[in-house]
Amino acid sequence: MYIKKLFLPKLPDAIVSEVHSSIEQGVNRAWEGERAKHKLDMYAWIPANDAVQDWCRTNISPDLYWGVQVIDANLPMHKDHGTEIKFNYIIDQGGSNPITTYYDDNEVVIDSYTMELNSWYILNVAANHGVTGIIPGERRISITSRIIP
């Protein structure tokens, strides 16, 4: 399993607005510490503000810390560091048909997925994956939470 759609509650419009506030007021924490050597300029992970944290903890899981993921260009093949599984809720797709693709260690495509707007997914991010189809000037925005083994 690389990606599985989850049937969890839709984010209310007020929480989506709070996500955008988190982006405007937050600081990109994706490349702190040990992760700095893996930096990708088109990717940001910003801690979600208290309103988003509270909603996600109440309605999705009280055991996870929630952030906002912003991708503003195609994301090359990579493996996430420090986590194996993520929850993602797609707020803005960043294009009409962005595709998340998984690869084996020889960079051969294993599978591809189109994640729907306003939907929750669980992703295996320890496997090689990337995102294509992001339109220049657009941003793929999602709520995300890391599950750390």
Residue type, 58: T
Q: Are 144 and 86 in contact (CB under 8 A)?
A: yes
**How many whole angstroms from its chain centre is CA 144?**
5
pTM flag (> 0.75):
yes
Task: Calculate ∠ Cα 135-84-8, nearest 5°.
Answer: 70
Tell me which residue of 68, 64, 29, 30 sits closest to 49, measured CA to CA: 68
Find which of 9-18, 34-43, 70-79 is predicted with most confidence, using mean pLDDT: 9-18
Residues 75-123: tens digit of each pLDDT: 889 988 778 999 999 999 999 999 999 999 999 999 999 999 999 999 9
Residues 125-139: tens digit of each pLDDT: 999 999 999 998 899
Residue type, 17: S
The phi, psi pair for 17, rounded to 5°, reads -60, -40
- Residue entry with tokens 């994956």: 129
**Distance (Å, whole) CA 29 – CA 1:** 28
Quote the tokens at residue 16: 């989506």
pLDDT of 145 reads 92
State how beta strands 85-93 and 140-147 pair: antiparallel
Using the predicted structure, report yes or no on whether residue 40 has a pLDDT greater than 90: no
